[in-house]
Amino acid sequence: MYVNRRAPHGTIYGHEGLEVVLVGAAFDQEVSMAFVGDGVFQLKQAQDTSGIGTKNFAGAYRALADYDVTRLYVETESLEERGLTVGDLMPLTYEDEEDNDQEKSSITLIDRASLGQLFEAQDVILNF
């Protein structure tokens, strides 16, 4: 599992974390992602980086489904603490082959306690 804890811009962690996820998925690793703390801002819709002179990589999250990365866990408390709702996040979806290619959300809201249990079940956790 890849855990995103930092805001998308101002450091390399957000962009580099996404790159590592895409590389891992390209090599058929089973990939899931969690967004906690300021990491929830990485999935925010309508990011505009023109004022800070950095590349906006948020659109690359839309490619995750093409790499079979469809399990994105967003901590509910982190959203609430930052004044965000699920409606503020990009609508990231995938086509579920096991359900007649029904389009489903890749984002799962998860509370802090349940996310802790999910972390405990992981073989490897990489933090960004």
- Mean pLDDT of the 94-118 span: 95
Higher pLDDT, 84 or 57: 84
Number of domains within the chain: 1
pLDDT tier at 88 (50, 70, 90 boundaries)?
A: very high
User: Any idea what the CATH number is for the domain that residue 118 is in?
Assistant: 3.40.1260.10
- Mean pLDDT of the 61-79 span: 96
- pLDDT reported for residue 27: 93
2-4 and 102-105 as β-strands: parallel, antiparallel, unpaired? unpaired
* Segment 25-64, tens digit of pLDDT: 999 899 999 999 999 999 999 988 878 878 888 889 999 9
Which DSSP string do the residues of 15-64 spell out, in sequence order? HHHHHHHHHHHHTT----EEE-GGGGGGGBSS---TTTT----GGGGGGG
Q: What is the pTM of this model?
A: 0.92
Domain span including residue 116:
2-127
What is d(CA 67, CA 45) in angstroms, rounded to the nearest whole number?
21
- pLDDT reported for residue 59: 87
